[in-house]
């Protein structure tokens, strides 16, 4: 089987490549890439004029909800949503029921995600930092790593006890496993449901102070520096966290960080009052935070973009604001939000955009992804993105079971058109409407 992606803008940050050319896939491998490729004998030809051809995107912060919460999402619907968003490799969080704290559950997850319905998307599991995610006893990290986890995390249940966090980092350091942390001092956020500021005061809601995040960012960076354990800071949301991360990196601590699309595109003041589709943790902050997050991302202080895709069922979000669960879906809007709010505004170049959505996140968890170099990934992972397509996001037409998005009805510029992964092809409905399309 020979597939030719012809005449697109090839953007591969792993080779610092930004050139108009073609990519040839043969038997699910990247065979050729460049300006002069052999198109003869192609079984399928995709005219990519005007599109980007990039390494498959990589999202290292996804909640797939299985086992335990398949009414919110399943591994299959989650991977289908990923493919529709251009993601070919995703890392999934352990806050399932039961939590992913032992090798048997990791086996189950890897087994499910390799089924044909999963769209060829690779799932890299993240193991629980503590047993049953209770914040008490560290998990068996050596066993989890042997089973295939790429990191350990306390996401959704931020570890409050510093001694336990220190012990976990020491143990993870011994088996060379990155630790990913949701940073929140919960003694400062009890009963709070949005950012602490003018808007929370107007609405009469308890607010989460920014210091609740920053205290834990500082603590975890210090513990990373002390133990030498690679630390990945999840969903940074405040300018203060950025300042601390920059300092930790300057000191030589092995720290990386991510930002979510909603945290660089929305602010708390814009929230329609009591709209639970705008409720997430950490919460939406202020204009200054958004500006700082964007410049930190461009400067590399924040390493990558990750969605924190957190699907919930309609009935769970259809309750009073303070009772609603935190989180929004993100896999199918990440490209649209990023290109609209960053790339098209000139805040991130196309090559840097792809780096933040693919190559860099793959490096953080050492995943076989994020590159178009022939032979560097087990099978070809490629996305084709039309950067100029204007489209309206309709949450009711998404693959994810979760319909909890603040972007419903928003117009974006930039969309994933094709996703190739694991021998499967996802083709967006807009692809066939392209005027120059010519498929063999
Ligand atoms: Zn999360």
Indicate the angle between helix axes 239-251 and 287-299, nearest 10 degrees. Answer: 30
Residues 158 and 120 in one domain: yes
Cα of 246 to ligand 1 centre, how many Å?
A: 22
Cα of 387 to ligand 1 centre, how many Å?
A: 27
400 domain-assigned: yes
Domain boundary among 364, 398, 419: 364
DSSP label at 135? S
Residues 171 and 285 in one domain: yes
Cα of 229 to ligand 1 centre, how many Å?
A: 21
Residues 288 and 354 in one domain: yes
Q: Which two tokens stand for residue 35?
A: 């300006």
Residues 329 and 419 in one domain: no
Rounded to whole angstroms, what are the CA distances from 323 to 114, 304, 344? 36, 31, 37
Rounded to whole angstroms, what are the CA distances from 119 to 9, 108, 382, 386, 421? 25, 17, 13, 21, 7
Domain boundary among 364, 390, 420: 364
Cis peptide preceding 21, ω within 30 of 0: no
Cα of 127 to ligand 1 centre, how many Å?
A: 13
348 domain-assigned: yes
Q: To the nearest whole number, what is the mean pLDDT of the chain?
A: 96
Within the chain, which residues score under 50 in pLDDT?
Answer: 439-440
Cα of 63 to ligand 1 centre, how many Å?
A: 6
pLDDT digits (tens, 9 = 90+) for 193-203: 999 999 999 99
Cα of 180 to ligand 1 centre, how many Å?
A: 10
137 domain-assigned: yes
Q: Is residue 228 within 8 Å of residue 166, measured between CB atoms?
A: no
Cα of 62 to ligand 1 centre, how many Å?
A: 7
390 domain-assigned: yes
pLDDT digits (tens, 9 = 90+) for 102-155: 999 999 999 999 888 888 999 999 999 999 999 999 999 999 999 999 999 999
Decide: helix, strand or coil at residue 430. Answer: coil
In CATH, what number is assigned to the domain containing residue 309? 3.20.20.140
Ramachandran region, residue 381 (left: φ > 0; alpha: ψ -120 to 50; beta: rest): beta
> Is the CA virtual torsion 145, 360, 399, 385 positive or negative?
negative
Angle at CA of residue 134, ends 132 and 138, nearest 5°: 75
The pTM (predicted TM-score) of the whole model is: 0.97
Cα of 278 to ligand 1 centre, how many Å?
A: 15
Residues 150 and 221 in one domain: yes
> Is the CA virtual torsion 362, 368, 369, 375 positive or negative?
positive
Rounded to whole angstroms, what are the CA distances from 422 to 114, 122, 360, 412? 9, 8, 21, 28
Cα of 334 to ligand 1 centre, how many Å?
A: 15
**Cβ atoms < 10 Å from Cβ of 256:** 22
What residues have CB less than 8 Å from 374, skipping those under 6 apart? 29, 30, 31, 32, 33
Does the annotation mark 43 as catalytic?
Answer: no
Cα of 280 to ligand 1 centre, how many Å?
A: 9
Dump the DSSP string for 276-293. GGG--SSPP--HHHHHHH
Residues 192 and 208 in one domain: yes
375 domain-assigned: no
Tell me the C-alpha distance between 216 and 290, whole Å.
20
What distance lies between CA 242 and its chain's CA centroid? 19
Cα of 282 to ligand 1 centre, how many Å?
A: 9
Strand partners, 23: 5, 33
Residues 141 and 277 in one domain: yes
Q: Give the pLDDT score at 436.
A: 61
Residues 22 and 150 in one domain: no
Cα of 298 to ligand 1 centre, how many Å?
A: 23
User: What total of structural domains would you count in the chain?
Assistant: 2
311 domain-assigned: yes
Give the pairing of strands 29-34 and 17-26: antiparallel
Closest C-alpha among 231, 92, 111, 68 to residue 149? 92
Tell me the C-alpha distance between 389 and 127, whole Å.
38
Catalytic one of 59, 154, 289, 308: 308
Residues 97 and 184 in one domain: yes
Q: Give the pLDDT score at 282.
A: 98
Tell me the C-alpha distance between 101 and 98, whole Å.
8
440 domain-assigned: no
298 domain-assigned: yes
Domain boundary among 308, 339, 364: 364
DSSP H or E segment with residue 231: strand 231-233
Cα of 155 to ligand 1 centre, how many Å?
A: 5
Residues 47 and 154 in one domain: no
In CATH, what number is assigned to the domain containing residue 34? 2.30.40.10
Residues 63 and 22 in one domain: no
Residues 114 and 209 in one domain: yes
Q: By residue range, what is the domain housing residue 422?
A: 2-53+381-433
């Amino acid at each position: 089987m020979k597939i030719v992606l012809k005449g697109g803008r090839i953007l591969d940050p792993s080779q610092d490549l930004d050139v108009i050319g073609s990519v040839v896939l043969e038997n699910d491998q990247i065979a050729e890439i460049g300006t002069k490729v052999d198109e003869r004998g192609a079984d399928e030809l995709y005219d990519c004029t005007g599109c980007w051809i990039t390494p498959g995107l990589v999202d290292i912060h996804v909640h797939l909800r299985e086992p335990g919460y398949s009414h919110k999402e399943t591994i299959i619907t989650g991977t289908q949503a990923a493919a529709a968003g251009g993601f070919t490799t995703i890392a999934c969080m352990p806050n399932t029921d039961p939590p992913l704290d032992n090798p048997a559950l990791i086996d189950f997850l890897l087994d499910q995600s390799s089924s044909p319905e999963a769209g060829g998307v690779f799932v890299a599991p993240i193991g629980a930092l503590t047993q049953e995610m209770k914040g008490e006893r560290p998990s068996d990290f050596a066993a989890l790593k042997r089973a295939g986890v790429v990191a350990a995390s306390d996401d959704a249940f931020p570890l409050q006890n510093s001694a336990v966090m220190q012990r976990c980092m020491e143990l993870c350091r011994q088996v060379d496993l990155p630790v990913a942390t949701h940073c929140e001092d919960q003694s400062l956020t009890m009963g709070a449901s949005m950012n602490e500021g003018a808007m929370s005061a107007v609405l009469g809601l308890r607010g989460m102070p920014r210091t609740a995040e920053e205290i834990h960012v500082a603590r975890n960076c210090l513990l990373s520096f002390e133990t030498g354990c690679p630390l990945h800071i999840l969903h940074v949301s405040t300018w203060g966290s950025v300042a601390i991360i920059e300092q930790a990196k300057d000191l030589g601590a092995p720290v990386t960080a991510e930002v979510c699309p909603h945290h660089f595109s929305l602010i708390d003041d814009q929230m329609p009052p009591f709209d639970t589709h705008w409720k997430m943790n950490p919460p939406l902050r202020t204009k200054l935070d958004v500006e700082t997050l964007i410049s930190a991302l461009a400067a590399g202080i924040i390493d990558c973009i990750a969605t924190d895709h957190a699907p919930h069922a309609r009935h769970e979000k259809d309750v009073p604001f303070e009772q609603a669960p935190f989180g929004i879906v993100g896999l199918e809007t990440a490209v649209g939000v990023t290109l609209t709010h960053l790339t098209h505004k000139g805040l991130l170049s196309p090559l840097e955009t792809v780096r933040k959505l693919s190559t860099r996140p793959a490096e953080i968890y050492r995943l076989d992804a994020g590159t178009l170099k022939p032979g560097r990934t087990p099978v070809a992972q490629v996305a084709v993105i039309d950067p100029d397509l204007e489209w309206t996001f309709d949450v009711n037409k998404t693959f994810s079971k979760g319909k909890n998005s603040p972007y419903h009805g928003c117009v974006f510029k930039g969309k994933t058109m094709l996703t190739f992964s694991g021998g499967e092809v996802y083709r967006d409905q807009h692809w066939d409407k392209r005027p120059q399309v010519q498929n063999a």
